[in-house]
Amino acid sequence: METRNANNVRRVLILGGYGNFGRRIVENLSRLSGITLIIAGRDVSKAENLRQQLSSIGSRAVLETAAIDINANAFAGTLESIAPDLVIHTSGPFQGQGYRVPETCIALGCHYIDLADDRHFVCNITTLDKLAKDRGVLIVSGASSVPGLSSTVVDHYAKEFSALETIDFAIAPGNQAERGEATVRGILSYTGHPFSVYLHGKWVDTFGWMGPRRLDFGEPIGKRWLADIDIPDLQLFPHRYKGIKTVKFQAGLELPILHFGMVVMAWLAKIGIVKSWARLTSPIFRASEFFKGFGSDIGGMQINLFGRDDHLQEKRIKWTLCAQDGVGPYIPTVSAIILAKKLIAGEIDMKGATPCLGLFSIADFDKEALPLGISHQLER
Residues 218, 282 within the same domain: yes
In this prediction, residue 178 has a pLDDT band, given cuts at 50, 70 and 90, of: confident
Residues 92, 193 within the same domain: no
pLDDT of amino acid 182 = 80
Residues 348, 243 within the same domain: no
In a domain, 78, yes or no: yes
Residues 116, 172 within the same domain: no
Q: Each residue of 27-76: pLDDT tens digit?
A: 999 999 999 999 999 999 999 999 999 999 999 999 999 999 999 999 99
In a domain, 358, yes or no: yes
Decide if pLDDT at 77 tops 50.
Answer: yes
Residue 159 domain boundaries: 146-323
Residues 227, 254 within the same domain: yes
Residues 81, 61 within the same domain: yes
Residues 90, 25 within the same domain: yes
Residues 102, 235 within the same domain: no
Domains identified in the chain, total number: 2
pLDDT of amino acid 3 = 46
Average pLDDT along the chain: 95
Of 284, 299, 323, the one marking the end of a domain is 323
Give the residue among 341, 314, 329 at the shortest CA–CA distance from 374. Answer: 329
In a domain, 112, yes or no: yes
Decide if pLDDT at 199 tops 60.
Answer: yes
CATH code where residue 155 lies: 3.30.360.10
pLDDT of amino acid 186 = 84
Residues 276, 340 within the same domain: no
Decide if pLDDT at 360 tops 90.
Answer: yes
Q: Each residue of 253-285: pLDDT tens digit?
A: 999 999 999 999 999 999 999 999 999 999 998
Of 283, 304, 323, the one marking the end of a domain is 323
Of 305, 323, 341, the one marking the end of a domain is 323
In this prediction, residue 5 has a pLDDT band, given cuts at 50, 70 and 90, of: low
pLDDT of amino acid 130 = 98
| This prediction's pTM | 0.94
In a domain, 274, yes or no: yes
CATH code where residue 105 lies: 3.40.50.720
In a domain, 377, yes or no: no
Residues 126, 166 within the same domain: no
In this prediction, residue 1 has a pLDDT band, given cuts at 50, 70 and 90, of: very low
pLDDT of amino acid 272 = 94
How far apart (Å, rounded) are the C-alpha atoms in residues 222 and 220? 6
Q: Each residue of 63-73: pLDDT tens digit?
A: 999 999 999 99
Residues 307, 200 within the same domain: yes
3 state SS for the chain: CCCCCCCCCCEEEEECCCCCCHHHHHHHHCCCCCCEEEEEECCHHHHHHHHHHHHHCCCCCEEEEEECCCCCCCHHHHHHHHCCCEEEECCCCCCCCCCHHHHHHHHHCCEEEECCCCHHHHHHHHHHHHHHHHHCCEEEECCCHHHHHHHHHHHHHHCCCCEEEEEEEEEECCCCCCCCHHHHHHHHCCECCEEEEEECCEEEEEEECCCCEEEECCCCCCEEEEEECCCCHHHHHHHHCCCCCEEEEEECCCCHHHHHHHHHHHHHHHCCCCCCCHHHHHHHHHHHHCCCCCCCCCEEEEEEEEEECCCCCEEEEEEEEEECCCCHHHHHHHHHHHHHHHHHCCCCCCCEEEECCCCCCHHHHHHHHHHHCEEEEEEC
In a domain, 238, yes or no: yes
pLDDT of amino acid 177 = 79
Residues 264, 338 within the same domain: no
Burial 132-167 (b: 16+ CB within 10 A, else e): bbebbbbbbbbbbbbbbbbbbbbbbbbeebeebbbb
